[in-house]
Every structure is written in C-alpha cells, then in structure tokens.
Structure 1
C-alpha cells in the first residue's frame, strides 16, 4: 500500500530531491554501516504511516532512517503519506492485517483511536510518535518524540551571534510539546550570546502550509526581525526573499538556501529505529519510551555543518558551541526540557 497524493505547492519536487540527498548524507555519516541481516533471515516487514508528505521535516527523518535500514537489508519497507487523522486507524488496521511486523508513524492527532487498534493486533509492534507516555496496558506500543533540544540550543548560540538587531522571529506549526521544547531550547541558546534578544513567536496551525508560514514570516520581518527560526517550511523562503538569515529545524536545508540558512538542528531517527529493531529481534519489544534516543549523547541529533557560513560565524560563538556540545555528550550539561507554550518576549 502506498498513497501518493502529490501536492502542487512550489518546491515539493525539489524537496523530494532534498530528501534523497539526505539519505545519501546519512549514509556518509554512518548509516551505511548498519548491521546487515543474518544470512538466510528475511528482512522484517515495516510500514510507515504519515499524515503529511515524506518531505515534511519531521516525517522525512523517519523515512530516511527506514530507507537506510532497507538498503542495509534489515527491513522491507512500504509507506502511506498524506493520511488524514480520520483515516489513520483504518490504515493501521490494513497494514496489520497484511502481516506487517512493525508499524512506524505519528499519532499526535489520533492518540486514543490508535491505541484501540494496537490492542487488536498484539503480534504487531507499533513505534509511534506520541505526546503521551508509554503505557503497559498497550504492551506492543512504544512511543517516541524528537527530543532534539540539545541541537536546538546549540543553533540558538549561533543565532544570537548572527543577529544584528537582536529581534528574532519564530514560526511554528502548533504549540505542542515537541515544538515548544525546541523553541525554548533555541531561545535559551540565543540568550547565551545575545542576552538582550527579543522574540516574536507565532504558530500557523498546520504542519504543512508553506504559503502561510511564509506570510507569517513576512509580517515578522516587517516588524523588524532580522533572523528567523524556521520550524516550518516556507519560513526560509521568506528570509531568502528579504535578505535576512534563518535557522533550520530537524533537516539541513543549507544547500537549498546557501545565503540564508546559517545553521540547523538535525534529528537522526536511526538510533530510535535501530533500538526498536534490536528489541523486536530479541523478543523484548514492549511499551517503552524511545525519546531518549533523540538526545545528542545517543547520536539522535546534531548541529548541521555551517556550509557556506563557515568562517562567517564569530569564533567566540563557535568556541562556546564546541564547549557546550562536549559537555552535553559527557552529561555534565543538560539542556532544559520546557514543554510549555513559548510566548513573544
């Protein structure tokens, strides 16, 4: 099963190309060395169910990790994208009925309905993005989230050093924990190098509406913002058109915006997926929270290379980034996780 409702928004084709380059880049940084399946052992059947196109930042990271595991011979992989929340339980059932052994995806908008499906298929493992904790009453459902606050904090340090006015605009999808914590971490990082920074925060009420995100960003620029936090697609387009800087989120879009995107906090889903595959192989998969595998010390997130901005970021900021990154990986410094809704300050 593979639902493809191609969108007409400008840039979707290039973003699919960006996704493929992301897979190549992931392989170059170690995904290609994933353990191959044992001789004679069939790949584990995996299905992905996504409510947005696979180009969307968050989902793309899951998709890339699954493609890499497929290339390594660990899994077979099929997926459905643009699945409406109202259809999500039905698609879950169809995949489970087909014999798929692991279903990955995100159930933020269909939490309870998804759990009802999980109970009907105890022999299927479910690894799903969720705002709720793991629950032993659903023993075959493990949850995860993108806890990449470590990388977001580091990107904030760079942003604080690059803004000239100290006015920073932040455009997000929805004010939910998985977005809020990244924004708060970014803001904390900014304060390290620009203590007097001011933030304008806005949410567009959509996970994939580049035109609305762009319009919101334009309004912020008109209000004096000279650097944007691009939690959604469309924000960097506005920054590029107006000649200001942007900080990326979850994926690296520096190649697409070489004069705009200074740095990006990158999410690596590979550690999360590999942990799940190992537990399934060992027969130990259960109701767990896999969120910790997104932490920097677990290899779940990183700061993207500066690319064309190499040599343009003040050395003092880079030194602080290196110091904080080492402390995070050593466990001597912990970036605060704040899931409350951020406000303009």
Structure 2
C-alpha cells in the first residue's frame, strides 16, 4: 500500500507520544505495617532512557523510513523497559518545522534523538546547542557538534550491485533512475549504479528523471512512466515509496527495491532490493548512552559492516547473475575490487579518478558530476 498523506504539524506534535515502547513499572507503595526495614529496601528502579526518532515520511511498509523504523523496533526489542521509544513521522525538512519538532522532543525529556534525513541537519545543530545534555544523531549529513553525531550507510554499494544486475538483465541497454533531490548522496548512487551496469554491459546508458522530493508516489509514478516511454527496460530509484516498482510491474519492465524489500509491490518486476539495516547501529548507540560511553563523531557503514546488502532476489534471476553479485560483494568487502577505482571519466570525457587510483570518502561525499554513461547534466 502506498501512503501519500501528510499530517499537519499540530498532528505531528501529537504523534510524538505515539508508539511508546517499554514503559517503566511503578512499584505499589507499602503500608507502614508491611514496609520492609530500610536496610532491606529494594533499590529504586532507574527511569527508562527516552529515545526519539524523527522521520521525513510515513512509516508505511517499504522504503527509507520503513527501514529506519525497523531499526527503532530493534531498539525496543533489545532494551525492553530500559528505554521508552517515540517516533514522529511526516516531519518536513523546512527549518522551522523540523526545529519545532526537535525542540519539543528535547523539552519532553528525550535524551537521545535521531533525525533520519539530510534536510534536518541545520535544525538539529541549532537545537543541539540549546540542549547540551541531550544526544542528537543525524543521518546522511556532514556537520557534527559535541552532542551531535552523524551516521550514514554506503547506499552507493547497493546501487552498484543493482547496476551489475541491470546490465545483465536489460535487453535494450537503456536504464532509468527516478531520483529525489540533487545532492552528492543521490548523484553518487546514480553514478555507482551506472558503473555497475557498464561493468557487465559497456554500452549501457542511464537516464535520470528528478522529482525533487524524497517521498511523492504520484511524481515517482509519473517519472517512471516517462522513462519507460523513452525505451528504458530496467528502473532504479532513489525515492522512498514503492511506486516505481508498482509502475514497472504494470508496464512489464524490471525494477529494484530501494532501502527495503519491495517484492510485494511487484513480484514479477522486482529483480532485487538494496536494503538498509539500521538495527545494529541504533542498538549500539542506545547502549552507549546507557553505559555512558556515547561520543560524537562520524560513521559511514557499508557491506562489510552488515549495514547494507543487495537481497530479495527474483526467483527468475539467473544463477550466474546471482553468483556474480556475490562475487562482487566479497571483492568490495575485502577491498580487492573497489567500486570507485580509476580510470573513471565524467560524461563529458574529463577524468575524475585517475587510472589505478581509488576515490576516497572525501571525493565521494562531494560528487557533483555524472559519470560516463549517464545522459544529461546534473541540475544546477
């Protein structure tokens, strides 16, 4: 089911109290006659750690926010009544809206707050300064503070592996991507997908349609339809809903799930899914707050950390293609075949990674150009 509603901000604030997990117990007061001696009194039960998650879209049942919410549930399952977990969905990236939600969560006593989209960065920085005793964590950004950490997964690794499959499965060599917002993170995924595709089909090309939103099923569907009309027979997306997979199913082409398994939305079309696995990171960070070892910093997790994978293969995917993907995974994990090893050119013929050189994380975080094989120009 695709959910396209947008809650009002007032409703969002009310939602901050929804989905509380693992509330602490209150002991029944004893009477004077039955009270145990002071020396034998049980120690006071510690208050649960209040943890909050803020989402750009609805939780739904697929995609980016859904994957983060699985991580939230992993926290609740692991720590039980040691934590009280809250989430707020459909929070816009606009500074005023996001700041208001983060500020309210901190005021309400949450001591660890996760913001799960790039556009929350400035709002989180501002609120973190006013609540130095609260720990904040921001997904996909690049700024930190003493009480604001940054985390991300290497989604480009999943995109590359999807490209490997696309290059093998496309009959036309024409591939398409429904893209969200033109920031380096998304450009990096487009480029990596194309590198993967051209590693198995050197003539493959990628066309991109930007919807300029992370979650808009209607626009995602329109973009997918446009690409199919241009002859594309394999689609990837960097958007949050399952609309692309649904459209591929209806039009008889292939597609990939993004951020989570989307097989249920189009089993025939769904070749595989780049899946994000946040539970390990979230439980680790909650444990660090509980034991007092939490520190700010930056982390970028990938295949070798078990934080991302290409999975949920279509049963019809040939065995040799699946074997090739597994081989490429292992080569990325052990470092023997980095994705971004040169020579790599942009789509104007300019060298961006020299022969035998490997792009470092600084270069990858700043990518603003399409690689050879991607049609068009990056939006200005």
Whether the 8 Å CA contact 1:231–1:248 is kept in 2: the answer is no
User: Which secondary structure does the structure 2 equivalent of 1:255 belong to?
Assistant: helix
Matched, 1:285 2:287: no
Whether the 8 Å CA contact 2:209–2:227 is kept in 1: the answer is no
User: Which secondary structure does the structure 1 equivalent of 2:176 belong to?
Assistant: strand
In structure 1, runs of 5+ residues without a counterpart are 1-5, 10-39
Deviations 1:2-39 (A, max 9, x none): xxxx7459xxxxxxxxxxxxxxxxxxxxxxxxxxxxxx
- Aligned twin of 1:123: 133
- Aligned twin of 2:248: 239
- Aligned twin of 2:311: 304
Which residues in structure 2 correspond to 1:292-331 (within 5 Å)? 292=301, 295-306=302-313, 309-310=314-315, 312-331=316-335
- Aligned twin of 1:186: 193
Matched, 1:207 2:214: yes
Shift, 1:117, TM fit: 0.8
Counterpart-to-counterpart distance in 2, 1:67 and 1:150: 25
- Aligned twin of 1:340: 368
| Alpha-carbon RMSD | 2.1
- Paired positions, count: 302
Counterpart-to-counterpart distance in 2, 1:175 and 1:239: 23
Give the direction of change, closer, same or farther, for the CA distance of 1:59–1:108 in structure 2 (3 Å limit): same
Whether the 8 Å CA contact 2:124–2:138 is kept in 1: the answer is no
Shift, 1:273, TM fit: 1.0
Give the direction of change, closer, same or farther, for the CA distance of 1:210–1:170 in structure 2 (3 Å limit): same
**Correspondence for 2:167 among 160, 167, 179:** 160
**Correspondence for 1:263 among 261, 272, 285:** 272
User: Which secondary structure does the structure 2 equivalent of 1:291 belong to?
Assistant: strand
Point out the more displaced range, 232-241 or 214-223. Answer: 232-241
**Correspondence for 1:96 among 106, 109, 116:** 106
- Aligned twin of 1:29: none
Give the direction of change, closer, same or farther, for the CA distance of 1:341–1:110 in structure 2 (3 Å limit): farther
Point out the more displaced range, 240-249 or 318-327. Answer: 318-327
User: Which secondary structure does the structure 1 equivalent of 2:265 belong to?
Assistant: coil
Give the direction of change, closer, same or farther, for the CA distance of 1:58–1:296 in structure 2 (3 Å limit): same
Matched, 1:80 2:88: yes
Shift, 1:225, TM fit: 0.8
Shift, 1:288, TM fit: 0.8
Deviations 1:76-109 (A, max 9, x none): 2111111222211111111111111110113522
Counterpart-to-counterpart distance in 2, 1:179 and 1:41: 43
- Aligned twin of 2:63: 57
In structure 2, runs of 5+ residues without a counterpart are 7-44, 341-360
Give the direction of change, closer, same or farther, for the CA distance of 1:315–1:236 in structure 2 (3 Å limit): same
User: Which secondary structure does the structure 2 equivalent of 1:290 belong to?
Assistant: strand
User: Which secondary structure does the structure 2 equivalent of 1:128 belong to?
Assistant: strand
Whether the 8 Å CA contact 1:161–1:314 is kept in 2: the answer is no
The structure having more radius of gyration, on CA atoms, is 2
Give the direction of change, closer, same or farther, for the CA distance of 1:107–1:159 in structure 2 (3 Å limit): closer
TM-score (norm 1): 0.81
Counterpart-to-counterpart distance in 1, 2:193 and 2:117: 25
User: Which secondary structure does the structure 1 equivalent of 2:298 belong to?
Assistant: coil
Deviations 1:180-221 (A, max 9, x none): 222222111111211110110121011111111111111111
Whether the 8 Å CA contact 2:55–2:115 is kept in 1: the answer is yes
Shift, 1:331, TM fit: 3.1
